[in-house]
């Protein structure tokens, strides 16, 4: 497939290949769609096996950012960048400064943030060359740790799901099974505990499990058993592909609502969940709290305002559920429709010829 065919397949506007002789930088920036605003998205550093793999990954990830921003009602487009290299071996301050100069050359059409393989320190280096960086430390006037807001957003989206299924958004007395007690999962457990939910948890790290048991009275189960726990809500906060042909028959929940990306192994598993009467909160809708928070930096960060906007993930999930019912499609397809509706509304009609 030619590069332009691949851009067309992903609906991507622009791609920039960046090469710097002195530092060995090889990076790709994908500006997927700027209909709703500048393209914001993280910079991933990864030792891709081939250049084709890197191109496909940056296109796929940038499209995801466009959809996520659109369903969240943000005045932002979607973009992403990748640096080809091993984050443990190939980093240098000069490499990130060289990358920053490329970001700067885009004049604000692309705003970079950290992602897998990059750190706040790397972003500081990028920032020495361009102002178009988001996701800085709170101490430097930035929006701080995104996982706090991701957890808040998951809670808001979970409330919308529980209301749809049980008639009340309250999580008091509900059993929530949380897979993964990392940055988001642990914070989510704390919020759920404060709401009076009953927690069942699993993590590969025994210390993380012990902390949740000690602090929140959670019941611990083995990682292999968490997906089949009888519960009201299953909250995947660890890995992707949690819902697959192999796991579907074992799920014993009414709602799937967590922070993990790519929860469905394949799109068709959204339909399969619906057939089983399980309400699925699409990943990029419910886990947008971090993006919503970081986007506040573009207008001068204000934590109170960010919290208010993240709470609206409740409305976004409600919206998706309504579209799902209106159009008779699973919620994952409904989320894509909502994103495309917002993008369509944002596109100005072409001026009449002549």
Tell me how far apart the alpha carbons of residues 335 and 319 are, in angstroms, rounded to a whole number.
Answer: 9
Least distance to ligand NAD, CB of residue 114, Å: 11
Exposed/middle/buried for residue 350 (C-beta within 10 Å: 0-12, 13-18, 19+): exposed
Considering the candidates 80, 91, 318, 325, report the single residue annotated as catalytic: 80
Maximum alpha-carbon separation in the chain: 72
Tell me how far apart the alpha carbons of residues 272 and 246 are, in angstroms, rounded to a whole number.
Answer: 12
Establish whether 182 is an annotated binding residue. yes
The residue from 81, 179, 295, 324 that contacts ligand NAD (CB under 6 A) is 179
91 is catalytic: no
Establish whether 343 is an annotated binding residue. no
Selected range binding ligand NAD among 67-75, 84-92, 164-172, 173-181, rule: CB under 6 A: 173-181
Dihedral (Cα; 333, 337, 343, 346), 10-degree rounding: -160
Tell me how far apart the alpha carbons of residues 310 and 159 are, in angstroms, rounded to a whole number.
Answer: 13
Alpha helix (H) residue ranges in the chain: 3-10, 51-71, 93-105, 120-127, 146-166, 183-194, 206-216, 268-275, 283-286, 289-295, 303-311, 313-327, 331-346
The residue from 30, 103, 238, 335 that contacts ligand NAD (CB under 6 A) is 238
72 sits near ligand NAD (criterion: CB under 6 A):
no
Of 15 and 255, CB closest to ligand NAD: 255
256 sits near ligand NAD (criterion: CB under 6 A):
no
Establish whether 64 is an annotated binding residue. no
339 sits near ligand NAD (criterion: CB under 6 A):
no
Least distance to ligand NAD, CB of residue 246, Å: 13
278 sits near ligand NAD (criterion: CB under 6 A):
no
185 sits near ligand NAD (criterion: CB under 6 A):
yes
The residue from 112, 197, 202, 243 that contacts ligand NAD (CB under 6 A) is 202
Judge contact between 205 and 180, C-beta under 8 A: no
Least distance to ligand NAD, CB of residue 194, Å: 18
Establish whether 183 is an annotated binding residue. yes
The residue from 223, 265, 303, 341 that contacts ligand NAD (CB under 6 A) is 223
Concatenate the DSSP letters of all residues of 255-297 into one string.
EE--S-SS-BSSTHHHHHHHHTT-EE--HHHHTTHHHHHHHGG
Number of other residues whose CB lies within 10 A of the CB of residue 308: 11
Establish whether 184 is an annotated binding residue. yes
Q: Give the tokens for residue 4.
A: 């332009």
Q: Which of residues 88-147 bind ligand NAD (CB under 6 A)?
A: 146-147
180 sits near ligand NAD (criterion: CB under 6 A):
yes
Q: Which of 128, 124, 148 is nearest to 136 (CA)?
A: 124
Least distance to ligand NAD, CB of residue 259, Å: 4
The residue from 1, 8, 75, 204 that contacts ligand NAD (CB under 6 A) is 204
Q: Which of 348, 197, 193, 181 is nearest to 260 (CA)?
A: 181
Tell me how far apart the alpha carbons of residues 172 and 187 are, in angstroms, rounded to a whole number.
Answer: 17
205 sits near ligand NAD (criterion: CB under 6 A):
yes
Q: Show the binding pattern over residues 140-169: x = contacts ligand NAD (CB under 6 A), - = does not.
A: ------xx--x-------------------
192 sits near ligand NAD (criterion: CB under 6 A):
no
- Reduce the DSSP state of residue 232 to 3 states and report it: coil
Give the burial string for 59-75 (b: 16+ CB within 10 Å, else e).
Answer: bebbbbbbbbbbbbbbe
The residue from 24, 87, 182, 346 that contacts ligand NAD (CB under 6 A) is 182
Active centre residues (catalytic): 80
- Residues making up the binding site for NAD(+): 180-185
Residues forming contacts to ligand NAD in the complex (CB under 6 A) are 146-147, 150, 179-185, 202-205, 208, 223, 237-239, 259-261, 287, 290
């Amino acid at each position: 497939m030619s590069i332009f065919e691949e851009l067309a397949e992903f609906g991507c506007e622009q791609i920039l290949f960046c090469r710097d002789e002195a530092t060995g930088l090889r990076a790709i920036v994908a500006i997927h769609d700027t209909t709703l605003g500048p393209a914001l998205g993280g910079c991933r550093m990864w030792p891709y096996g081939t250049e084709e793999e890197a191109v496909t990954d940056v296109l796929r990830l940038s499209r995801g950012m466009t959809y996520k921003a659109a369903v969240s009602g943000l005045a932002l487009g979607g973009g992403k960048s990748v640096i080809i290299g091993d984050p443990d071996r190939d980093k240098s301050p000069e490499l990130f400064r060289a990358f920053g100069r490329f970001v700067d050359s885009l004049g604000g059409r692309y705003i970079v943030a950290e992602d897998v393989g990059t750190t706040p320190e790397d972003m500081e280096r990028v920032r020495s060359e361009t102002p178009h960086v988001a996701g800085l430390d709170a101490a430097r006037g930035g929006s701080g740790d995104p996982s706090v807001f991701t957890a808040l957003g998951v809670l808001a989206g979970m409330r919308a799901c529980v209301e749809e299924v049980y008639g009340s958004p309250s999580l008091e007395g509900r059993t929530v099974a949380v897979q993964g007690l990392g940055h988001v999962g642990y914070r989510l457990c704390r919020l759920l505990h404060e709401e009076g939910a009953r927690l069942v948890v699993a993590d590969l790290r025994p210390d993380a499990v012990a902390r949740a048991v000690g602090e929140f009275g959670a019941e611990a189960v083995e990682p292999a058993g968490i997906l089949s726990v009888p519960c009201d809500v299953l909250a995947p906060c660890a890995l992707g592909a949690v819902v697959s042909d192999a796991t579907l028959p074992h799920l014993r929940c009414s709602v799937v609502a967590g922070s993990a990306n790519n929860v469905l192994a394949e799109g068709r598993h959204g339909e399969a969940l619906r057939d089983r009467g399980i309400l699925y909160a699409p990943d990029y809708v419910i886990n947008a709290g971090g993006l919503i928070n970081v986007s506040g930096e573009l207008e001068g960060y204000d934590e109170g305002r960010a919290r208010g906007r993240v709470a609206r993930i409740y409305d976004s999930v409600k919206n998706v559920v309504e579209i799902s019912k209106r159009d008779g499609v699973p919620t994952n397809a409904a989320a894509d429709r909502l994103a495309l509706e917002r993008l369509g509304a944002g596109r100005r009609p072409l001026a009449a010829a002549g």
